[in-house]
A and B are shown apart, each in its own frame.
Chain A
Amino acid sequence: MNSFTFRRADAPDTAVEALAHDHAAKLLGGGTNLIDLMKQGVEQPTALIDINPLPLAEITPLPGGGLRLGATARNSDTAAHPEVRAQYPMLAQAILAGASAQLRNMATDAGNLLQRTRCYYFYDPAYLACNKRKPGSGCAAITGFNRIHAILGASPECIATNPSDMAVALAALEPTVRVRGPKGERHIHFADFHRLPGKTPEIDTNLRADELILSIDLPRSSYAAHSHYLKVRDRASYAFALVSVAAALDLDGTTIRSARLALGGVAHKPWRAEAAEKSLKGKPATADSFRAAAELALAGAQTYKDNAFKVPMAKQAIVRALTVAAGEQA
């Protein structure tokens, strides 16, 4: 048992100050990941700063047509929000495909972005080798059981995947993450928020240790009419994705004006398939176009002992998600 102090933040600045003051302090959102990892002995903060009292739970329209998701807005409230459902249905789908009703009632939108990998070796400190948990200790997964691990963008230091569903839909919607640090506010493009593991897999994101997420700001979207989130997993509900796809099309009749495609369960970050998106531009919304895009999206895939199945699974899932997004109930 590790002891820690607990305090309630009364303003965003006091939360930031507390983080800057104590580098082993952590912010507490819904706690569904942090408390879990504290029980596992993976996270050992000396102080918890409860940000639930902060006025950051609102979902509000942005000037120019976007939507601001407050950092402490609950996943369940976000998915049920009429504007989220109408403008970003794929985001509501992705959130509802994750975890359980109880967990979504607790989980915050900012906390969801910062949930850590579900790599078994990371989660269990009985395994000594995990570069993410203990830099320089090695990676037990590369030679171990790696069925849930990455096929894109991994490094010899870490082959973990990001487990979030919500983040996959967000990757396709291109929001910015508004954060506050000791020097004031900045905006991080969503594509730059999560990191690839490289030689520093212990760092999941480009959020600094003394920064508080204030909101996720979604731009106006032209994809509401044709989008789909598809999650493939070991059981129909309450399980993490093996592979997931956020697919969105802006159609002019049956011609694709532009496309968005992001994958989950395949990489250390929500994986945006930009080459595949480009290949769809100007093409007819047909199975042939979708299959070609799927090939491009997985072109650089590298598999390990137990996860080669993810490559065909991801390709099929892409074709299927694009087909449903285009309006065919295939």
Chain B
Amino acid sequence: MTGTKKGCDHGQCGSCTVIAGGRRINSCLSLALVHQGDTVTTIEGLAHGDQLHPVQTAFLEHDGYQCGYCTPGQIMSAVALLDEVRKGQPSQVTPELRKAGPVELTPDEIKERMSGNLCRCGAYPGIVAAVQQAYGQTQS
């Protein structure tokens, strides 16, 4: 499989993001041996045949990329982000940390939660819009 990309190789860019054991991780800093028995989902595992995952569709519709190199990592990160928000996990910009509760995925929340994925082409506005669309769809 060639979908997952190596960018920095040091945890600094997010292009290698995969979902292992249900969580997004930087695969460049993780030994495969540590994940024996875990389910690992890469970008190849999101679509069902020709039917794209809603996050993939949203990236297409909002031009969430230019060269596309960071995109597999961005999309895997966004898929996990939606799951984290569903579970009420807080971020640095979540207003009331003291009380656990539902999280509202504002643009600021999206930017903070996607900050582990750099894009050298600067496609960030499209990426934020894509995550917003995918979030809206999974909400309804």
If over half of A's interface residues share one DSSP class (helix, strand or loop), that class is named, otherwise mixed; here it is helix
How close is B39's CB to chain A, nearest CB, in angstroms? 15
Q: Is B10 within 8 A of A96, CB to CB?
A: no
Cross-chain contact B92 with A102 (CB below 8 angstroms): no
CB of A313 closer than 8 Å to a CB of B: no
Closest to A100 in B: B116
A76 with B89, Cβ < 8 A, contacts A31-B30, A32-B11, A86-B99 known = yes
A-B contact pairs, 30 of them (CB 8 A): A6-B31, A28-B31, A28-B34, A31-B31, A32-B26, A36-B10, A80-B88, A80-B90, A82-B100, A85-B97, A85-B100, A86-B98, A86-B99, A86-B100, A89-B98, A92-B90, A93-B97, A96-B90, A96-B92, A96-B94, A97-B92, A100-B117, A101-B113, A102-B17, A103-B11, A106-B30, A236-B112, A236-B115, A237-B112, A238-B115
Chain A minimum-CB-distance residue to B94: A96
Q: Which residues from 124 to 149 on chain A have a C-beta closer than 8 Å to any C-beta of chain B?
A: none
Sort chain B's interface into a size bin. Answer: 35 or more
Contact string, B6-25, partner A, CB cutoff 8 A, digits 1/0?
00011100100100000111
Q: Are B25 and A105 in contact (CB under 8 A)?
A: yes
Q: Which residues of B contact A82 (CB under 8 A)?
A: 100
Flag if B25 contacts A224 (CB, 8 Å): no
Cβ 8 A contact of B25, one of A39, A85, A106 = A106
Q: Which among A36, A93, A101 is the interface contact of B81 at CB below 8 angstroms?
A: A101
Give the residues in chain A near B67, CB-CB below 8 Å: none
Residue on B with the closest CB to A237?
Answer: B115
Task: Tell whether A169 is near chain B: CB-to-CB under 8 Å.
Answer: no
**Contact A102 to B31, CB < 8 A, known contacts A79-B90, A89-B97, A92-B90:** no
**B33 interface residue, CB < 8 Å from A?**
yes
Q: Is the CB of A36 within 8 A of B90?
A: no
* B positions within 8 Å CB-CB of A: 9-11, 14, 17, 23-26, 29-31, 33-34, 77, 80-81, 84, 87-92, 94, 97-100, 111-113, 115-117
Identify the closest chain B residue to A98 (Cβ): B92
A222 within 8 A of B: no
Does chain B have a CB within 8 A of A52? Answer: yes
Measured CB to CB, the nearest residue on chain B to A90 is B97
Q: Which residues of A contact B90 (CB under 8 A)?
A: 79-80, 85, 92, 96
B80 proximity list for chain A (CB < 8 A): 101
A50 CB contacts on chain B under 8 angstroms: 33-34
- A171 to B88 CA separation, bound complex (whole angstroms): 28
**A89 contacts across to B, CB distance below 8 A:** 97-98
Answer whether residue A256 sits at the interface, using C-beta atoms and an 8 A cutoff: no
A237 near B92 with CB under 8 A, answer yes
A92-125 Cβ-contact flags toward B at 8 Å (1 or 0): 1100110111110110000000000000000000
User: Bound state CA distance, A238 and B24, in angstroms?
Assistant: 16
Q: Confirm or deny: A35 has a beta carbon within 8 angstroms of a beta carbon on chain B.
A: yes
Q: Is the CB of A52 within 8 A of B92?
A: no
Query: What residues of chain B lie closer than 8 Å to A35, measured between beta carbons?
Result: 29-31
Given contacts A101-B113, A237-B111, 13 further A-B contacts (CB under 8 A): A6-B33, A36-B11, A36-B29, A76-B23, A79-B90, A80-B88, A92-B90, A92-B97, A101-B24, A101-B77, A102-B24, A105-B24, A238-B115
Instruction: List, in ascending order, chain A residues with CB within 8 A of B111's CB.
Output: 237
Give the complex CA separation of A80 and B86 in angstroms. Answer: 13
Q: B30 — which chain A residues lie within 8 A by C-beta?
A: 31, 35, 106
CB distance from A159 to the nearest CB of B (A): 23
Interface pair B100/A31, CB less than 8 Å apart: no
* Complex: A100 Cα to B29 Cα, angstroms: 13
* Residues in chain B near residue A102, CB distance under 8 A: 11, 14, 17, 24-26, 77, 116
Residues of the B chain whose Cβ atoms lie less than 8 Å from the Cβ of A106: 25-26, 29-30
Set of chain A residues within 8 Å of B91, measured between Cβ atoms: 96, 101
Digitize A210-251: 1 where CB-to-B-CB distance is under 8 Å, 0 elsewhere.
000000000000001000000000001110000000000000
